[in-house]
């Protein structure tokens, strides 16, 4: 197996419109496709499929994706924090400085947790070792 890197995420949501507004209007994703029950959005080389589900299986609570982290420049970080606050997005941690980078964790309408982080893997590992 020769995995090359990240490809995409599929996120189940209760309301395609509400989730699409969040990803497009708040996080700034570009809409690539919108169907009756699905939408595809992207930022650069990252893409996400939003898939509307009428009922979420209760067995999935607490399982699956813990959070999804995006890289953001330190110059843009604080403005992004203000945007999240002004749009009344639920912030669950931060903003805080972790090692050399700033981070903030927040929730999408269906509870998917996101992180904006200004550091990279090498810098993160320097604080763990």
pLDDT tens column, 73-115: 899 999 999 999 999 999 999 999 877 889 899 999 988 888 8
Model pTM greater than 0.95? no
Phi, psi angles (nearest 5°) of residue 73: -70, 155
23-80 pLDDT per residue, tens: 999 999 999 999 999 899 998 888 888 888 876 555 555 445 668 888 888 999 999 9
> Strand order of the sheet with strand 46-52?
8-13, 46-52, 38-43, 30-34
All domains of the chain, ordered by start, with CATH? 1-55 (3.10.180.10), 65-129 (3.10.180.10)
Instruction: Examine the residue annotation and report whether 115 is marked as an active-site residue of this protein.
Output: yes
The catalytic position among 54, 115, 123, 126 is 115
Rounded to 5°, the CA angle 64-67-71 comes to 145
């Amino acid at each position: 197996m020769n995995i090359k890197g990240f490809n995409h995420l599929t996120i189940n949501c209760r309301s395609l419109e509400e989730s699409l507004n969040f990803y497009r209007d708040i996080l700034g994703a570009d809409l690539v496709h919108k169907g009756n029950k699905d939408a595809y959005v992207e930022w650069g080389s990252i893409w996400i499929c939003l898939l509307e589900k009428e009922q979420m299986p209760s067995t999935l609570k607490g399982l699956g994706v813990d959070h999804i982290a995006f890289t953001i420049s330190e110059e843009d970080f604080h403005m992004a924090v203000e945007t999240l606050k002004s749009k009344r997005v639920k912030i669950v941690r931060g903003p805080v400085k972790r090692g050399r980078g700033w981070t903030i964790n927040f929730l999408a309408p269906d509870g998917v947790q996101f992180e904006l982080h200004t550091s990279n893997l090498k810098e993160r590992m320097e604080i763990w070792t």
